C-alpha cells in the first residue's frame, strides 16, 4: 500500500505516493547526502524530464542502491 506525503519543492506543495520501503530508502539516502527529504526529491524533480515524479524517485532510489553492485560487476 502506498503512503502519500506532501512535500514543499521550491515553494510549491507536492503530494507524492510511494511504498513505505521507498520512503525509508529515500529518507536514508537524503540523510547520507546531508539533505532533507524535500531537497533530495527536488534534485530528482529537476532532472526527471517527462517521467512521473513518483516513478523518478523509485528509479533514483534503485539506481543508488544498485550502484555498488554495478561497480563490482563491471570491474
pLDDT in tens, 39-75: 999 999 999 999 999 999 999 999 998 987 666 566 6
Across 16-26, b (16+ Cβ under 10 Å) vs e yields: bebeeebbebb
| DSSP of 28-42 | HHHHHTT--HHHHHH
pLDDT in tens, 18-43: 999 999 999 999 999 999 999 999 99
Task: Enter the pTM of the model.
Answer: 0.86
Length of the chain, in residues: 75
Domains and CATH numbers, the chain: 3-73 (1.10.3990.20)
**Residue 45 CA from chain centroid, whole number:** 9
**Residue 30 CA from chain centroid, whole number:** 8
Amino acid at each position: 500500500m502506498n503512503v502519500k506525503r506532501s512535500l514543499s519543492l521550491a515553494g510549491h506543495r507536492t503530494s507524492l505516493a510511494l511504498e513505505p520501503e521507498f520512503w525509508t530508502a529515500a529518507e536514508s539516502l537524503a540523510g547520507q547526502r546531508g539533505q532533507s527529504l524535500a531537497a533530495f526529491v527536488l534534485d530528482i524533480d529537476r532532472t526527471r524530464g517527462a517521467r512521473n515524479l513518483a516513478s523518478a524517485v523509485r528509479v533514483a532510489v534503485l539506481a543508488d542502491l544498485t550502484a555498488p553492485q554495478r561497480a563490482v560487476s563491471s570491474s
